[in-house]
Amino acid sequence: MYRIINSCDGNDDGNPLNHKFGGRYSCSAYTYEVNPKKDNRIFYMRVDGNCRGEYNYLFSDFESEGRGWNGVDAGKKFRNEAKRCVGGGLTKWKFEYHVNPADHNSWEWYASFRTPIWVALRCFDNLKVQKAVGGYTHRRRDPLNEVYETYGCAGNG
C-alpha cells in the first residue's frame, strides 16, 4: 500500500508535481488498489498562487489563493510560517479548500488573515512565507491568457 501511495507515478515530464492517479500492487495472495475518489481535479504543471494585502492603519488584511501547495493540511503550515514571520500577531485566520477548483478560477484553496502593519515586504512580497511551505504567489495572474505579473504580493499591505 505504501508503494502505491508514496511512489512516483512514472517519472513523467507531463506530471512534474507528481500527482497521484492510483494504482494496484500485488503481494502474495493480496492485491492492494487505490482509486481516486474525485476526477474533477485539474493537474497542474507548477505550483502557483495569488496574494494581496491591504493596509488599514492599525493592521493589514491579506488574502491568498493557490494551487499545488498548502492544501494538504488546511493551511496549517502556511499559517504557522506567517505567524512566525510577522512575530505572532496573526488573527482572523480563515481557510477554505475548494472541492471543485474550476469554480474558483482554478484555485484549490483560499486563505485570509490579519497581521500587524509593515510586514508585507519582509514576509509576503519577498515570498519568504510562501517558499517556506513550498509555494509561490504572483501579484496578479490572468489564467486564461497565462499572463503573470511579477512574483510577490499585491496591494499596499
pTM across the whole model: 0.76
The pLDDT value given to residue 8: 60
3-state class of 148 per DSSP?
strand
pLDDT at 143 over 60: no
- What does the angle CA 101 – CA 40 – CA 70 come to, to the nearest 5 degrees? 45
**16/69 Cα distance (integer angstroms):** 13
3-7, 9-13, 28-32, 95-99: range with lowest mean pLDDT: 3-7
3-state secondary structure of 53: strand
Query: Structural domain boundaries of the chain?
Result: 2-34, 48-155
More confident residue, 88 or 16: 88
